Amino acid sequence: MKKIISIVGHTNVGKSTLFNYLVGYRKAITDYTHGVTRDRIYCECKWRGNNFTLIDSGGYVFGTKELEKKIIEQFLLAIEEASDIIFILDILSGILPIDYKICNILQRSKKKVFIAINKIDKYKYTIFDIKEVFNLGFKYFFFISSLNGIGINELLDSIFVDANESYKNVINYNLSILPRITIVGRKNVGKSSLINTLLNKKQRIVCDQPGTTRDGIEVFYKKFNFKCILIDTAGFLKNKIKSEYIEYFSFLRTTKFISSSDLCFFMLDVKIGFNKQDLKVFNFIKKKIISIIILINKCDLIKEKNELQKLKNNILKKIYPFTDVPIYFISNYTKKNIIKAFKKGINIINKQKKNISTSSFKKIMLTIIERNQFRNRNKFAIKYCVPIFKKGINQFIFFSKNPNLIPSSYKRFLEKKIRENFDLVGIPIKIKLLKMSKLKKKNILLYE
C-alpha cells in the first residue's frame, strides 16, 4: 500500500515551503502572510524507491467565521486521509497554545506522527526548550529547515524505515500524459463548488467570501470510462490590485495552468454576465489555442428563459468570430447540466486527438477557395493549404502570392468553412497566410 503523508501545523510555520522542497518545484504559494494555503494540495513524490502522495494543508486556525471553519474542515480531512503525518513546529515562536490543540487532534487520530521543528537555520535567533517537545507525547521528532533542506533526509528515512514491503505506485497510469481540464473564471463564480460536485466530496473550500481559492489544485478524476486531471484555479485578478503579491502570484499560476490545459471550463455568474475582464481571459485562452466550454453558473436563480437566451446572445456577440463554443447553463446546487457539459468536454478532447489528413483538407478547402476567390484572383490566389496538429493544437497554413493583401474578413471566411467541414466545436484554430515562395518540399514536410 502506498503511503499518504500530510503536512500539518498552524499558519506560517513553513508547511508549503517543505511541500515545495519535497516536490522539487514551487507548487504551493509561499509568503510571510499568515493563512496563504487554504485547500489541500496533492502531489505524487518518490523517496529512495518509495512512491508516496504528499498533501499540503491549510494552517490550523482558531475562529468561528465561515472561512475559518472551512479551513479547519480541510485540515481535518488532510489528517483523515493520511497514513503518516508531519507536524511542523516553528523554532522561532516555540510551542504555542494552538500547537497543543493540534496535538490533541493528532493523538485522537491514532496516526503515526513525526514532529518537524522547522527553521533550525535560524536557531541562534531564539531560545527553544527541547523539553517542551517531549511533553507533546510523540516518539519521533527532527530539527529541519524547509528552506535549506537540513534534516529532511533523516525525516523521510524515519518515515519509510518501517516499510517492510516495497511501496509500489498503485496508480497504473502516467499522470503526466492524462488530459488536463482547467476550471477558470472570476472570483466566487463556483469553480471550487464544481470540483466538489464532480468529485462528490468536499475537496475544495467553498465560501461566500471572494478569493477563497489561492493555489491552483490538481486532482485526479475518473468517470465515464475517462481519466483526466481536474484543475481548480484562483479567480481573475483586476489590474488595480496587481500590487498584492499573493493575488498576483495566484493570477500568474492561473495563466500557467491555462497554457498547459487540453480544455478549459470557462465559468460565469448568471447574475453578473460576461464583462471586459471575462473577454480578456477568454481571448487569452483562445490565443493559446486551448479548447473552451462556457459554463454559466447559478442558472437556478433565473426563472425566465428569455433572460438566459439574452445572456447567451450577448456572449456570442462579444466572442465573435469564434462563436462555435458550447454554452451550458448549469447549477452546482441542483447539478443541472454539469454531467452533460463534462461529457461534451470528453467529446472535444477525444476529437482533438484525431488529425485531419492533408489530402482531404486540401481537396475540400481548395475547392471552396476556387469558388470564392477575389475579383483580382491572380494577386491573391491561394494555391496550397496544409493542417498542422501538435498536442491537439490546430493550425492551418494557406499559401498565397500576396498574403499580406488578403483582408481579415477572408481569414474569418476560411475559419468558418473549416469549422463547417471538419467539426471543430469548442476548439480555437489559428490560420496562417504565407507566401508561395515558402512552399518548398522540405518546408511542407515540416508542416505535415
Q: What is the pLDDT of residues 215-255, one digit of tens each?
A: 567 788 888 889 888 888 877 655 544 445 445 556 677 78
pTM, two decimal places = 0.61
Q: How far is CA 338 from the centre of its chain?
A: 18
Question: Among candidates 103, 106, 114, 112, which has minimal Cα distance to 144?
Answer: 114
Rounded Cα distance, 438 and 393, in Å: 22
pLDDT score of 1 = 65
**Closest C-alpha among 147, 129, 142, 138 to residue 109:** 138
CA distance 111 to 386: 60
CA dist 21 → 54, 142, 160 (Å): 11, 16, 18
Candidate from 60-69, 102-111, 205-214 with smallest mean pLDDT: 205-214
Please check whether residue 64 is in contact with residue 230, taking contact to mean a CB–CB distance below 8 angstroms: no
Q: Reply yes or no on whether the pLDDT at 263 is more than 90.
A: yes
Instruction: Specify the range with the lowest mean pLDDT, choosing from 169-183, 319-333, 381-395.
Output: 169-183
Candidate ranges 122-126, 207-211, 304-308, 374-378; pick with highest mean pLDDT? 304-308
Q: What pLDDT is attached to residue 29? A: 42
Alpha-carbon distances, residue 441 vs 103, 352, 384, 446 (angstroms): 71, 27, 12, 9
pLDDT tens digits for range 86-127: 999 888 888 888 888 888 888 888 888 999 888 887 765 555
Q: What does pLDDT average to over the chain? A: 78
Residue indicated by cell numbers 471566411: 413
Per-residue pLDDT at 211: 44
Measuring CA to CA, which residue among 339, 435, 355 is closest to residue 387?
355
The span from the CA of 265 to the CA of 353, in Å, is 19
**Portion of the chain with pLDDT greater than 90, in percent:** 16
CA 274, 276, 277 angle in degrees (round to 5)? 90
Please state the rounded mean pLDDT for residues 57-67. Answer: 68
Residues with Cβ within 8 Å of 267's Cβ and at least 6 positions away in sequence, in order, are 183, 184, 185, 189, 190, 191, 194, 295, 296, 297
Q: What angle do CA 116, 13, 82 make, to 5 degrees?
A: 55
Point out the least confidently predicted range of 172-176, 200-204, 386-390, 444-448.
Answer: 444-448
* Residues 54-60, mean pLDDT to the nearest whole number: 80
pLDDT-derived band at 441 (thresholds 50, 70, 90) equals very low
Q: Provide the angle, in degrees to the nearest 10, between the axes of the packed helices 276-287 and 245-259.
A: 40
Tens of pLDDT, residue by residue over 162-201, are 543 333 333 334 555 788 999 998 888 888 888 888 887 6
pLDDT for res 168: 33
pLDDT over 60 at 382, yes or no: yes
Task: Specify whether the CB–CB gap between 395 and 289 falls below 8 A.
Answer: yes
Q: Which three cell numbers stand for residue 291?
A: 479548447
390: pLDDT strictly greater than 70 = no
Residue 8 burial (C-beta neighbours within 10 Å; 0-12, 13-18, 19+): buried
CB 215 within 8 A of CB 39: yes
Q: What is the pLDDT of residue 247?
A: 56
Q: Which helix (H) or strand (E) holds 334?
A: none
Predicted pLDDT of residue 296: 93
Q: How far apart are the first and last CA of the chain?
A: 46
How many angstroms separate the CA atoms of 153 and 156, rounded?
Answer: 5
Is residue 428 reached through a cis peptide bond, with omega within 30 degrees of 0 on the bond before it? Answer: no
Sign of CA dihedral 16, 21, 25, 31: positive
pLDDT number for residue 100: 86
